[in-house]
Amino acid sequence: MMRYLSRQGGREEGAAQAARTAPPTVEETNVTSAASAGLANDPVALIADKALWIRRRSFQMVYEAQLGHPGGDFSAADILATLYFGVLRHDPSNPRDPGRDRFVMSKGHCTGAFYAVLAAAGFFPEAQLTTYMQPLSKLNGHPNRNYLPGVETNTGPLGHGLPVATGIAIAGQIDNAEFRTFVLTGDGELQEGSNWEAALTAGHRKLENLTLIIDRNRLQQGARTEETASLDPLDDKWRAFGWHVEVLDGHDHRALYEALSKSPKGRGKPLCIIANTFKGKGVSFMHDNVAWHHGVPNKDQYEQAMRELA
Amino acid sequence: MMRYLSRQGGREEGAAQAARTAPPTVEETNVTSAASAGLANDPVALIADKALWIRRRSFQMVYEAQLGHPGGDFSAADILATLYFGVLRHDPSNPRDPGRDRFVMSKGHCTGAFYAVLAAAGFFPEAQLTTYMQPLSKLNGHPNRNYLPGVETNTGPLGHGLPVATGIAIAGQIDNAEFRTFVLTGDGELQEGSNWEAALTAGHRKLENLTLIIDRNRLQQGARTEETASLDPLDDKWRAFGWHVEVLDGHDHRALYEALSKSPKGRGKPLCIIANTFKGKGVSFMHDNVAWHHGVPNKDQYEQAMRELA
Amino acid sequence: MSAAAPQPAGWHDCRDTFSKTVEALAEADPRIVTVVSDSVGSSKLVNFRKRWPERMVNVGIAEQTVVAVGAGLANGGKIPFVSAAACFLTARAMEQIKADIAYTNVNVKLIGQSSGIAYGELGPTHHSIEDMAWLRLLNNLTLIVPSDPWETEQAIRAAAALDGPVFIRVSRMPVPDLPRSNARFEIGKAETLREGDDLAIIANGVMVHRALAAAEALAAEGIAARVINMSTVNPLDEATILDAAKTGAVVTVEEHSVRGGLGGAVAEVLATHDPVPMRILGFPGFLPTGSADWLLEHFNLNAAGIADAARQLLARK
Amino acid sequence: MSAAAPQPAGWHDCRDTFSKTVEALAEADPRIVTVVSDSVGSSKLVNFRKRWPERMVNVGIAEQTVVAVGAGLANGGKIPFVSAAACFLTARAMEQIKADIAYTNVNVKLIGQSSGIAYGELGPTHHSIEDMAWLRLLNNLTLIVPSDPWETEQAIRAAAALDGPVFIRVSRMPVPDLPRSNARFEIGKAETLREGDDLAIIANGVMVHRALAAAEALAAEGIAARVINMSTVNPLDEATILDAAKTGAVVTVEEHSVRGGLGGAVAEVLATHDPVPMRILGFPGFLPTGSADWLLEHFNLNAAGIADAARQLLARK
Ligand SMILES: Cc1ncc(C[n+]2csc(CCOP(=O)(O)OP(=O)(O)O)c2C)c(N)n1
Ligand SMILES: Cc1ncc(C[n+]2csc(CCOP(=O)(O)OP(=O)(O)O)c2C)c(N)n1
Ligand SMILES: [Mg+2]
Ligand SMILES: [Mg+2]
């Protein structure tokens, strides 16, 4: 495990390792100035920097492909940046290391942000991002494990990530392994019953090595969640299914970092983080706007967004 | 609606109608003395009588077929007797009357009890019960709407009843109709995520015309629910999904009758009744015994059970 | 989900026909309701919701329940049109379709939107190229794959008029109006769009206009290809297939896996009644990244590819 | 669920073979785990649970999750055998099988227990006579339908040794050990159990011994029927099918719907390569009430019925 970026309060190799895992390609891009040695010593500053880069880069991908789900990319960007630059112990040069922390991207439609963070973390060259959704690209509209290192399971249909992540966490539980399993779902996605099956099993087995992060942007594809099939009181639901629940601001890097990097040892329950977010966060005309679930920008919109994302 | 057995506190036609709906065939059998005019004036006494008859008749069916799920037949017998002899407004001579109350038997494996109560209520001749699971019988191991009047939807795979019942209740809600929809599930069955999808929608739409009864016998096919994928705190789960919850003794006819026959008007929520029961209730060697989930009796066991069910 | 592709003039997205027709039916029959799983926009039902908000049931992202609620609504006297992306409606709700819809035999209309590979770049999880194989063996369930707006409207009207379960594939891929001299739609009856006795091309859905174009190209070489639109897959029009067998060579074309779908259905009829040489054109399985148009070209599911297959087959006849 | 039918001596419930084999594999390889959905007893895994309680994962009655958890366990380095009734494992978890197992291409073994019509009286919701049609078009997913205990053991061992997803149908219907001179199991290779050049009978699963009995009866009339055990349905052994076509007549027999399954797969190969007359024997769809044995007899899926079909087919040859 020496080669992983370690968590706060974790092992000695900490900050130095963090600097080492910063992928070379990222430093070369014009949309980020991240990963200097200084920033690497302050995970939250690094995370903030990466989150901005993810927003910019994913929006560029969506603009160029004229396809994508930028609203959900933006609500998830801070969560993804925190995971990949502050929390996950992973080694891009050995993406199937049995001891790695797992991250399952259940909201598989948000490949803009997901591919961007994987590239930023060094799983594949940033240049590959320009092939997003192009013919024969490995950057499919939804992530494919057999195309790209860093993808744990193929997602796209909602409600698949948590059940698979539960299985991964059970493997870790059986082996008494150190690795943690994280999964990010949308909130509308929780209307799929498959999640509640897995919730029961994870609660029953007290999978403390499993962390679910809910991107609680309160919007699904066509409308607000509470107007469609209301999820509140969402915290009570998870508690009643045997989970420990924390509610936080999903755009607050420090709050995310602290909640996610805390050791799960002794919690005795799986952890559900309800991350309150906004769809389209970061760009004024996309903010909390359902039209941007799968909207794609025209030139003016793209340019305005890039000005705002600075 | 004049022809229906009405509910407590209901319309004027009350007791006289109740007597009228008592099927003639039942009185002729040797295992019940039910449905005398006197009993019909006291729904709870009638229900008790019918519940005993259902246990006896269903066990005979299972014994003769050497197939069935008698443990779950017995945990559900009191609930079914209460519904058909105290609560449901139905007309066996017009089983598809649009204004009828609906009952959906989601735990479709318990056809012993279900067919027995349908016969007792007059939906088909009791004599037909002897064909249970025989070649070309309309009494399949799981209920088929196209074979038998009184069956609302074909069940057998668990977790189908509540979602279908939710659809029926929505039809009633759209039409502002008087009819109520009841559904009986097992408890292990609630591990199926499909139930929680429907729970969300029913809670969201505040379907007060929908009542779920959970046969909380704490056993599933192979073991106790709490050892398999624990359901407790079950009441909290339903509350968190927007339901009104009542917990009662599922073998207490008066408690069942009162909870089920209370007018739903103004409740503003779907009703979930957690009926605490015992699998195999009524027969000592079957009581709370998982072996009787789909056990079948030999001659000695059958005779002992019949002695106990007197 | 994917951005609207520019549509050639006179080509149509049949989802528009679906919503227009359902609205017309709903005007005339108050029993008609729509049932969706966060699929209002993708079903083009925004206007329906505006007109009859109380007659649209949105269960959220829950395909098992969207189907089961449809079954319940039918029990309550409604005629529900359950509309969701074909890929999820089938795969995620297969047991509900089997048990609650087909086996219970209820009056529900399932609309599989953006069927086939219409979601192109969104990948195999969003492609529905298994649905014909999955559904055509479920008794009671009528299965229709319309070819153009006219037929989509006819299929939806016929489905509403039929007392029983129906599944209709509706594509978002733009298609032209097909030339028809004697337009008449009947469930279970295939339509011969072009006569010809050298071979028969049997297609459905978005492949029919491509089959006609292939026949046109073959005609220029003196090959008379019959073109049959097999829009109903269950029940199957075996008589028309057996008549096609008399040409001595049959090519099937579908926007579906080459296994078990239209080609499989035709192969079963031919092999058991009148074996003649066949080609089955479709997709090989999980597909690489690419737009719908790109995938069709890449796998030769176009006029040229169909004509090529026909020529090769004739050589074997 | 149904009571155990009395088994003729020397006949076996292949679920016993399954559990015995999985136990043997688990002894040798700590990565082997079992995953069940309240299906311990019906999978005959009570002893496995006793021996390795920590290596059995019971998710409760939740088929979507039993499959997805299997996928997750594979990701975590396990070799999971996911075991549940075939009817629910397929229908209820179709999208998990498509996306999490086949498309993701993970090392999970799905065991469809009590497949076909073994649950007899429990009716169509409990019959699994759609699974071959539903699964055989999913790339990557090896699909095996073993015929007897020996082959069940071989299939399970081969599945464990293969790094990829496998679905195996395991019947509870008692079957005899098949006579084999040269027993060798290989995934994707059909087995010719009896030579013959008048026609070929292609069967799998519990129908193979019935096919052999039919061939015996035909032999008495001087008809030499080849009997082929097509236990792997995906990938399909096309070479053996095309060799069978040389007899000029092919009968397929399956404990499955007549649409889209083994018969459909063989029809596709024959029609597109070497069309010869065929009969497809199986079930017509949702079945009436009756025990497994009764259903097989009622639908002539027995030696006499197979022999009859063969005679009729020979008349058309
Ligand atoms: C099973 C399934 N049903 C429907 C869809 C179509 N779909 C894609 S994204 C989406 C909305 C998701 O909303 P939410 O989970 O809240 O995600 P976010 O807001 O983060 O984008 C829907 C309905 C799908 N991908 N999978
Ligand atoms: C989808 C599905 N999975 C599995 C089964 C097999 N099965 C039949 S009954 C049963 C146990 C049900 O337990 P519970 O819901 O508690 O019912 P009860 O105790 O009242 O019999 C199981 C697993 C099934 N019928 N349907
Ligand atoms: Mg959302
Ligand atoms: Mg129970």
Give the number of other CB atoms < 10 A from CB of residue B304: 14
The string of DSSP codes covering A6-64 is PPTT--TTHHHHHHHHS-HHHHHSSS-----HHHHTSHHHHHHHHHHHHHHHHHHHHHH
Answer whether residue D172 shows pLDDT above 80: yes
CB contact under 8 A, B67 and D39: no
Give residues with Cβ within 8 angstroms of A10, minimum separation 6.
A261
Nearest to D68 among A146, A167, A200 (CB): A167
List the residue whose alpha carbon is closest to atom 12 of ligand 1: A220
Nearest to A201 among D60, D70, D77 (CB): D60
3-state secondary structure of D36: strand
Give the number of other CB atoms < 10 A from CB of residue C64: 32
List the residue whose alpha carbon is closest to atom 24 of ligand 2: B157
3-state secondary structure of C22: helix
Instruction: Return the sign of the alpha-carbon dihedral for residues A229, A187, A291, C43.
Output: negative
Answer whether residue C4 shows pLDDT above 50: no
Alpha-carbon torsion, ordered D80, D84, D87, D90, to 10 deg: -20
Alpha-carbon torsion, ordered B258, B264, B269, B274, to 10 deg: 20
Q: Kindly list the residues from chain A whose CB atom is less than 8 angstroms away from the CB atom of residue D54.
A: 174
List the residue whose alpha carbon is closest to atom 10 of ligand 2: B221
List the residue whose alpha carbon is closest to atom 12 of ligand 2: B220
Give the number of other CB atoms < 10 A from CB of residue C164: 17
Q: What percent of chain A has pLDDT over 70?
A: 86
pLDDT recorded at residue B26: 34
Q: What angle do CA A164, A167, A172 make, to 5 degrees?
A: 130
In a domain, A93, yes or no: yes
Q: Kindly list the residues from chain C whose CB atom is less than 8 angstroms away from the CB atom of residue A154.
A: 125
Instruction: Give ipTM to 2 decimals.
Output: 0.95
pLDDT tens for the 310 residues of chain A, in order: 333 444 433 333 333 333 333 333 333 333 333 344 444 457 999 999 999 999 999 999 999 999 999 999 999 999 999 999 999 999 999 999 999 999 999 999 999 999 999 999 999 999 999 999 999 999 999 999 999 999 999 999 999 999 999 999 999 999 999 999 999 999 999 999 999 999 999 999 999 999 999 999 999 999 999 999 999 999 999 999 999 999 999 999 999 999 999 999 999 999 999 999 999 999 999 999 999 999 999 999 999 999 999 9
Which CATH code fits D11-176?
3.40.50.970
CA separation (Å) from C308 to A234, B114, C248, C301?
A: 58, 60, 17, 10
D6: confidence class by pLDDT, cuts 50, 70, 90: low
Domain at B184, CATH number: 3.40.50.970
Copy the structure tokens of residue C243.
């008549």
End-to-end CA distance of chain D: 44
pLDDT tens for each residue of C98-132: 999 999 999 999 999 999 999 999 999 999 999 99
In a domain, A27, yes or no: no
- How many angstroms separate the alpha carbon of residue B218 from the centre of ligand 4? 5
Task: Residue B151: give the domain boundaries.
Answer: 34-308
Q: What is the DSSP letter of B205?
A: T
pLDDT recorded at residue D7: 56
End-to-end CA distance of chain A: 36
> B149 with B115: CB under 8 angstroms?
no
pLDDT recorded at residue D145: 98
Cα atoms in the 13 Å half-sphere on the side-chain side of C107: 16
pLDDT recorded at residue C181: 82
Answer whether residue D290 shows pLDDT above 50: yes
D139 inside 8 A of chain C by CB = yes
C238-245 and C262-273 helices, crossing angle to 10°: 70
pLDDT recorded at residue D8: 66
Copy the structure tokens of residue A229.
């099939």
Answer whether residue C255 shows pLDDT above 90: yes
Give the separation between CA D72 and CA C225, rounded to whole angstroms.
51
Give the separation between CA C214 and CA A46, rounded to whole angstroms.
58
Cα atoms in the 13 Å half-sphere on the side-chain side of C38: 29
- How many angstroms separate the alpha carbon of residue C98 from the centre of ligand 4? 25
Which CATH code fits C191-314?
3.40.50.920
In a domain, A288, yes or no: yes
CB contact under 8 A, B153 and C71: yes
Q: Kindly list the residues from chain C whose CB atom is less than 8 angstroms away from the CB atom of residue B172.
A: 76
Interface contacts (B, C; CB < 8 Å): 107
Give the separation between CA C44 and CA C23, rounded to whole angstroms.
11
pLDDT recorded at residue C183: 85
Residues with CB under 5 A from ligand 4 (ion): B 186-188, 217, 219
Give the separation between CA B268 and CA A139, rounded to whole angstroms.
48
CB contact under 8 A, A141 and C64: no
Q: Which residues of B218-238 are buried (b: 16+ CB within 10 A; e: fewer)?
A: bbbbbbebeebbbbeebbebb
Give the separation between CA D120 and CA D118, rounded to whole angstroms.
5
To the nearest whole angstrom, how far is the Cα of B149 from the nearest Cα of chain C? 13
- How many angstroms separate the alpha carbon of residue A109 from the centre of ligand 1? 7
pLDDT recorded at residue D10: 87
Q: Which of A144, A147, A164 to mutate to test the interface with D (most CBs of D within 10 A)?
A: A164
| Ligand 2 neighbour D119 (Cβ under 6 A) | no
| Ligand 2 neighbour B106 (Cβ under 6 A) | no
C191-314 shares the fold of C11-176: yes
Alpha-carbon torsion, ordered C167, C168, C170, C175, to 10 deg: 150
pTM score: 0.95
- Report chain B (310 residues): mean pLDDT per 10 consecutive residues: 39 34 36 40 90 98 98 98 97 96 98 98 98 98 98 98 99 98 98 98 98 98 98 98 98 98 96 98 98 96 98
In a domain, A221, yes or no: yes
Q: Kindly list the residues from chain B whose CB atom is less than 8 angstroms away from the CB atom of residue D65.
A: 193
pLDDT recorded at residue A7: 42
Q: Which residues pair with A254 in a beta bridge?
A: none
- How many angstroms separate the alpha carbon of residue A225 from the centre of ligand 3? 7
Average pLDDT, chain C: 96
Q: Which residues of A111-125 are buried (b: 16+ CB within 10 A; e: fewer)?
A: bbbbbbbbbbbbbbe
Peptide bond into A233 cis (omega under 30): yes
D28 inside 8 A of chain B by CB = no
- How many angstroms separate the alpha carbon of residue A188 from the centre of ligand 3? 5
Residues lining ligand 1, CB < 6 A? Answer: A 69, 72, 75, 107, 109, 156-159, 186-189, 215, 217, 219-221, 279, 293; C 38, 61, 63, 88, 92
> B162 with B182: CB under 8 angstroms?
no
Cα atoms in the 13 Å half-sphere on the side-chain side of A38: 3
Match 């049949």 to its residue by tokens: C14
In a domain, A15, yes or no: no
Helices (H), C177-284: 208-220, 238-245, 262-273
Ligand nearest the Cα of residue B72 is 2
| Ligand 2 neighbour B73 (Cβ under 6 A) | no
* Domains in chain C: boundaries: 11-176, 191-314
Q: Which helix (H) or strand (E) holds A102?
A: strand A102-105
- How many angstroms separate the alpha carbon of residue C78 from the centre of ligand 4? 33
Give the separation between CA C143 and CA C166, rounded to whole angstroms.
6
Q: Taking CA atoms, what residue in A is nearest to B200?
A: A229
Peptide bond into D277 cis (omega under 30): no
In a domain, A4, yes or no: no
D312 inside 8 A of chain C by CB = no
CB contact under 8 A, A203 and B230: yes
Which residues of C does the annotation mark as catalytic?
A: 63
Give the separation between CA D231 and CA D204, rounded to whole angstroms.
5
CB contact under 8 A, B229 and A195: no
Give the separation between CA A166 and CA D96, rounded to whole angstroms.
14
| Ligand 2 neighbour B111 (Cβ under 6 A) | no
For A206, left (φ over 0), alpha (ψ -120 to 50), or beta? left
Total domains in chain A come to 1
To the nearest whole angstrom, how far is the Cα of A159 from the nearest Cα of chain B? 11
pLDDT tens for each residue of C265-298: 999 999 999 999 999 999 999 999 999 999 999 9
3-state secondary structure of D278: strand
Give the number of other CB atoms < 10 A from CB of residue D157: 15
- How many angstroms separate the alpha carbon of residue D118 from the centre of ligand 4? 24
The string of DSSP codes covering D80-124 is EEEEEEHHHHHHTTHHIIIIIIIITT---EEEEET-BTTTGGG-G
A107 inside 8 A of chain C by CB = no
Strand D225-229, strand D199-203: pairing? parallel
Instruction: Return the sign of the alpha-carbon dihedral for residues C203, C209, C213, C215.
Output: positive
Give the separation between CA B64 and CA B243, rounded to whole angstroms.
41
> B134 with B64: CB under 8 angstroms?
no
pLDDT recorded at residue B38: 42
CB contact under 8 A, D38 and B138: no
To the nearest whole angstrom, how far is the Cα of B39 from the nearest Cα of chain D? 36
Alpha-carbon torsion, ordered B50, B52, B55, B56, to 10 deg: -100
Q: Which residues pair with C12 in a beta bridge?
A: C175
- Report how far Cα D316 is from the mean position of its chain's Cα atoms: 30
D4: confidence class by pLDDT, cuts 50, 70, 90: very low
Q: Which of D73, D96, D107, D138 to mutate to test the interface with A (most CBs of A within 10 A)?
A: D73
To the nearest whole angstrom, how far is the Cα of B198 from the nearest Cα of chain C? 6
Strand D142-144, strand D175-176: pairing? unpaired
Amino acid at D219: A
Residues on A contacting B at a C-beta cutoff of 8 Å: 191-197, 200-201, 203-204, 228-231, 233, 236-237, 239-242
